[in-house]
Amino acid sequence: MISVLVVEDEEITAEANRRYVERVPGFRVEGVARSGGEALRFVRRRPVDLILLDLYLPDMHGLEVCRALRAAGVLSDVIAVTSARDLSVVRSAVSVGVAQYLLKPFTFASLSEKLTRYARFRSSVEGSGEVGGQSEVDRALAALRGPGHSPLPKGMTSVTLDAVLAELRKAPQGVSAQAAGTAIGISRVTARRYLEHLTDSGVARRVPRYGGVGRPELLYRIV
Half-sphere exposure of 115 (CA within 13 A, CB side): 29
Task: Please say if the pLDDT value at position 206 is more than 60.
Answer: yes
Mean pLDDT computed over 177-196: 93
Half-sphere exposure of 97 (CA within 13 A, CB side): 16
Q: Which residues pair with 98 in a beta bridge?
A: 78
Q: For the whole prediction, is pTM greater than 0.75?
A: no
All residues at 6 or more sequence positions from 210 whose CB lies less than 8 Å from its CB, including other chains: 216
* pLDDT tens for each residue of 133-149: 665 565 655 655 654 44
The pLDDT confidence band at residue 35, using thresholds 50, 70 and 90, is very high
Collapsing DSSP to helix, strand or coil, 104 comes out as coil
Q: What is the signed CA dihedral for 36, 25, 94, 8, rounded to 10 degrees?
A: -20
pLDDT value of position 91: 80
- Strands 77-82, 175-176: pairing is unpaired
Of the listed ranges 3-17, 158-172, 185-199, the one predicted with least confidence: 158-172
Q: Are 178 and 199 in contact (CB under 8 A)?
A: no
Q: Where are the domains of the chain?
A: 2-145, 158-222
Q: What is the mean pLDDT of the chain?
A: 84
The pLDDT confidence band at residue 18, using thresholds 50, 70 and 90, is very high
pLDDT value of position 26: 93
Mean pLDDT computed over 90-109: 82
pLDDT value of position 39: 97
How far is Cα 198 from Cα 74, in angstroms, rounded to an integer?
36
How far is Cα 189 from Cα 169, in angstroms, rounded to an integer?
20
Comparing 2-145 with 158-222, is the CATH topology the same?
no
Mean pLDDT computed over 23-42: 96
pLDDT value of position 128: 53
Q: Which CATH entry fits the domain spanning 158-222: 3.20.20.80, 1.10.645.10, 3.40.50.970, 1.10.10.10?
A: 1.10.10.10
The pLDDT confidence band at residue 127, using thresholds 50, 70 and 90, is low
Cα dist. 161→117, 134, 186 in Å?
Answer: 23, 39, 11
Higher per-residue confidence, 133 vs 50? 50
How far is Cα 5 from Cα 79, in angstroms, rounded to an integer?
10
- Strands 175-176, 98-103: pairing is unpaired
The fourth-level CATH superfamily of domain 2-145 is: Response regulator (3.40.50.2300)
How far is Cα 90 from Cα 109, in angstroms, rounded to an integer?
22
